[in-house]
A = this chain, B = another copy of it.
Amino acid sequence: MINAGIIGASGYTGGELMRLLLNHPEVNITAATSRKLAGQAVSDTHRHLKSFLDLKFENLSPEEIKSACDVVFVAVPHGTAMDIVPELLDGEVKVIDLSADYRLKTADFEQAYDMKHRDPREAVYGLVELHPEVSEQTFIANPGCYPTGANLAAAPLAKAGVINSVIFDSKSGITGAGINPSAVSHYPNMAENVQAYKLTSHRHLAEFVQELNRLDNSLKNISFTPHVVPSIRGILTTAHVFTKDTMGVDEVRALYEEMYMDKPFVRLVDGSPSLGDVRGSNFCDIGFEVDERNNRVVVVSAIDNLVKGASGQAIQNMNMICGFNETAGLWSAAAAP
Contact = CB atoms under 8 A, between A and B. Distances in A.
Given A15-B336, A240-B167, A191 B230 contact: yes
A150 interface: no
B188 A174 contact: yes
A333 B275 contact: no
Interface string A214-229: 0000000111010101
A46 interface: yes
A66 interface: no
Count of this chain's copies in the oligomeric assembly:
4
B191 A232 contact: yes
B337 A12 contact: yes
Contact of A199 (B22, B190, B196, B272): B272
A200 B173 CA distance: 24
Contact of A171 (B22, B200, B229, B288): B229
A274 B238 contact: no
Interface in A204-245: 221-223, 225, 227, 229-234, 236, 238, 240
Interface in A296-329: 296, 298, 300
Contact of A336 (B46, B181, B186): B46
Interface in A160-183: 165, 167, 169, 171, 173-175, 179, 181-183
A175 B175 CA distance: 20
B171 A194 contact: yes
Interface of A: 12, 15-16, 19, 22-23, 46-52, 165, 167, 169, 171, 173-175, 179, 181-183, 185-197, 199-201, 221-223, 225, 227, 229-234, 236, 238, 240, 264, 267, 269, 272, 274-281, 283, 288-291, 293-294, 296, 298, 300, 332-337
7 contacts: A49-B333, A169-B240, A171-B171, A179-B188, A197-B272, A199-B298, A279-B335
